[in-house]
Each structure stands twice: as structure tokens, then as C-alpha cells.
Amino acid sequence: MLKKTKKMMMGVVSATLVTSLAGCGSDRPAKPTGYDCDDWEWDSDAGTYYCDDDDSTHSGGYYHGGTMYKSKKALQSSSAYQTYYSNYKSGIGSGTKGGFGG
């Protein structure tokens, strides 16, 4: 009986460790899908992905909150992005800027 309990506890500890480590490396959202872009790059200054695919109709475009923006300037004009960006730069949820996780 003790062997079973010990084995079960090791499984719980292992699962907890894997789960906590998985969240540590990156607080980035998932890469966008459903757009004509085969090369998404992370812009750490903007805190979003941009399309780095020269053959794409979205080349140079930025993605945030379910919307594609034609340029970084267009992204920065969005009030939804401005709210996100102020939180991103202050570290809320960023993981790398003194926020949660990481």
C-alpha cells in the first residue's frame, strides 16, 4: 500500500513540476492562425506578433486581439492596443518585465 501511495505522489509532483515549468518560459499568446502568413515573428517592444512573410498579403502587418493591422503605426493607433500596451510595459502578465509567471 505504501508503494502505491509513494508512486501516486511522485506522479502528482511530476505533473505539477511539468505544468509550472511549461508556463515559465513564455507568456506570449499563441501565434495567429487563419491568415495568409507563414512566418510570424514576435515583436518584444510591441508585445505582439507581426507577419514577416514577404510573399504574404499581410507582410509587415501586426496582429493583436483578433485583428490584423497593416502596420505598426496602425496598431499603435488602436485604443484596445494602447490599453494592452500600457499593461504590457508595466509588467502585468508579461513575465519578463517583473509581472506574473516566468
Q: What is the pLDDT of residue 50?
A: 97
Question: What is the reported pLDDT for 72?
Answer: 96
Instruction: Write out the residue range of the structural domain in which residue 37 sits.
Output: 30-90
51 contacts 60 by C-beta, under 8 angstroms: yes
**Whole-angstrom distance, CA of residue 96 vs CA of residue 100:** 8
Establish if 95 belongs to a structural domain: no
Residue 40 belongs to some domain of the structure: yes
Instruction: List, in sequence order, every residue forming a beta bridge with 48; answer none if it has no partner.
Output: 43
Find out whether 68 and 58 touch, Cβ atoms under 8 Å: yes
Query: Does 98 reside within a domain?
Result: no
Give the pLDDT score at 28: 84
Residue 38 and residue 53 in contact, taking contact as beta carbons nearer than 8 Å: yes
Per-10-residue mean pLDDT for the chain, 102 residues long?
A: 52 37 61 93 95 96 95 95 88 50 39
Domain count, the chain: 1
The C-alpha atoms of residue 97 and residue 95 are separated, in whole angstroms, by 6
